Amino acid sequence: MGRNRWGWASNRRLGSNRSTRSTRSAKLIGLVTLVVFAASGCTTDQALHFGWPPAITPQGEKMRQFWMYAGFAALIVGVIVWALIFWTVAFHRKRKNAPADELPRQFQDPGKLELVYTVIPFVIIAVLFYFTVTTQNFVLNKIPNPDVEVNVVAFQWNWEFDYKGYHTPDGQDVKTIGSSQEIPLLVLPTEKVIQYDLLSTDVIHSFFVPAFNFKRDVFPDPSKNNQDSSFQNTIDQTGPFVGRCAELCGTYHSMMNFEVRALTDDEFNQYMKLRESIDPQTNQPYTASAALTKLGQDDPSCGTLCTPYAVTTHPFDTDRTSGSASQDTGLNTGDN
């Protein structure tokens, strides 16, 4: 009886020690996780979306959500695999006093186990494939008659934006052309379907607006390169958003920037009416900067949205002997 009581007490103390160690391990893991998040500077939203920034379009937000759920799925699968590995190592080790030639328990007919190992990965792949295709279809979907259609023309090392269906008094398409002195502004409305038709006049470029969470290569001759040269989206919020060339295209590739200026629909309509009319100060059609200046004068509440020049980037110095590169911040000056 004494031995039984002593053995029972020992087992109880052993179980208590194991429970204490498990609790301490759980606390340590939780503390390490908190430290990792705090040290990385991630917010809860950034951590949940694994670093993907919020998008200003439904298409970009759809990709962000897909990335988040795909990350969670990968973590779940990883945790299960790690648990199986640790379980095998912990509970299927060779016994201390086992004969040297003793083998682990053998499976004579592991058919059911192999079936599970085959079916589960297939199900995982099928689910991921379904959500990949549905997300891709949503992002690449195009309707027949978009509200606004813009020709995006890339050239070394700047951009031209031509608005289809909008004409200056002399019958030319309303357009904005960037230069070494001025960053081109792609003025667009919010809550409208916009189509971008991409074309390059020289080498391969890439149209990239980080706030869209989307980019697409711009080829010299899309039809011969078997490329779909257009895409559509809808911008959900107003504001200035920097755009870049994301394809190495030559000497000033890194300086080939533009700015998307998202206005409300009413402000955009007023802007385009100005672009289609004559500026009395120059007796020429309104430029992008002049139209925004006029719009800001007529509606002071427009604020930063009516700033005549880019606020997310500025022109670069084309003098290659200057010995310094321009910084990609601040306001720019010049006339379009």
Does residue 197 lie in a domain region? Answer: yes
Q: What does the pLDDT look like over 209-219, one tens digit per residue?
A: 999 999 999 99
- Distance in angstroms (rounded) separating the CA atoms of residues 291 and 296: 9
- Is residue 288 within 8 A of residue 163, CB to CB? The reply is no
Q: How far is CA 37 from the centre of its chain?
A: 21
User: In the chain, which residue ranges form alpha helices assigned H by DSSP?
Assistant: 2-40, 44-48, 58-91, 111-140, 265-275, 288-298
Residue 246 sits at the vertex; the CA angle it makes with 140 and 59, to the nearest 5 degrees, is 25
pLDDT over 90 for what percent of the chain?
44
The tally of domains found in the chain comes to: 2
Does residue 133 lie in a domain region? Answer: yes
- Distance in angstroms (rounded) separating the CA atoms of residues 151 and 86: 57
Q: Do residues 301 and 164 both lie within one domain?
A: yes
Among the residue ranges 10-14, 23-27, 62-66, 202-206, the one predicted with the least confidence is 10-14
User: Would the pLDDT of 45 be above 60?
Assistant: no
Q: Do residues 190 and 168 both lie within one domain?
A: yes
User: Would the pLDDT of 336 be above 50?
Assistant: no
Q: What is the pTM of this model?
A: 0.74
User: Would the pLDDT of 195 be above 50?
Assistant: yes
Query: Can you give the pLDDT at residue 108?
Result: 66
Q: Do residues 284 and 250 both lie within one domain?
A: yes
Structural domain range at position 255? 148-306
Query: Once rounded to an integer, what is the mean pLDDT over residues 169-181?
Result: 90
Q: Do residues 164 and 66 both lie within one domain?
A: no
Query: Can you give the pLDDT at residue 85?
Result: 86
User: Would the pLDDT of 170 be above 80?
Assistant: yes
Query: Can you give the pLDDT at residue 225?
Result: 74
- Where is pLDDT greater, at 166 or 15? 166
Residues 6+ apart with CB under 8 A from 265: 189, 190, 191, 192
Q: Do residues 71 and 53 both lie within one domain?
A: yes
Strand bridging mode 158-167 / 205-209: unpaired
- Where is pLDDT greater, at 203 or 106? 203
At 44, the amino acid letter reads: T
User: Would the pLDDT of 208 be above 90?
Assistant: yes
Query: Can you give the pLDDT at residue 198?
Result: 94
- Is residue 150 within 8 A of residue 131, CB to CB? The reply is no
Query: Can you give the pLDDT at residue 200?
Result: 93
For residue 211, the 8-state DSSP code is: G
- Where is pLDDT greater, at 98 or 208? 208
What is the Rg, in whole angstroms, of the alpha carbon atoms belonging to the chain?
30
Does residue 173 lie in a domain region? Answer: yes
Does residue 316 lie in a domain region? Answer: no
User: Would the pLDDT of 87 be above 80?
Assistant: yes
Question: Model confidence at 72, in pLDDT bands (50, 70, 90)?
Answer: confident
Query: Can you give the pLDDT at residue 329?
Result: 41
The pLDDT mean for the chain works out to 81
Does residue 32 lie in a domain region? Answer: no
User: Would the pLDDT of 314 be above 70?
Assistant: yes
User: Would the pLDDT of 281 be above 70?
Assistant: yes
User: Would the pLDDT of 331 be above 90?
Assistant: no
Query: Once rounded to an integer, what is the mean pLDDT over residues 306-326?
Result: 74
Strand bridging mode 205-209 / 214-218: antiparallel
- Distance in angstroms (rounded) separating the CA atoms of residues 239 and 20: 55
Q: Do residues 262 and 160 both lie within one domain?
A: yes
Q: What does the pLDDT look like over 225-271, one tens digit per residue?
A: 778 889 999 999 999 999 999 999 888 898 899 999 999 999 999 99
Question: Model confidence at 2, in pLDDT bands (50, 70, 90)?
Answer: very low
Query: Can you give the pLDDT at residue 326?
Result: 43
Q: Do residues 154 and 295 both lie within one domain?
A: yes
Highest mean pLDDT among 24-28, 84-88, 187-191, 316-320 belongs to 187-191
Q: Do residues 270 and 155 both lie within one domain?
A: yes
pLDDT over 70 for what percent of the chain?
77
Which among 131, 248, 270 is positioned nearest to 189, based on CA atoms? 270
Q: Do residues 166 and 127 both lie within one domain?
A: no
Q: Do residues 167 and 186 both lie within one domain?
A: yes
Q: Do residues 126 and 153 both lie within one domain?
A: no
Q: What is the residue whose two structure tokens read 């030639």?
A: 101
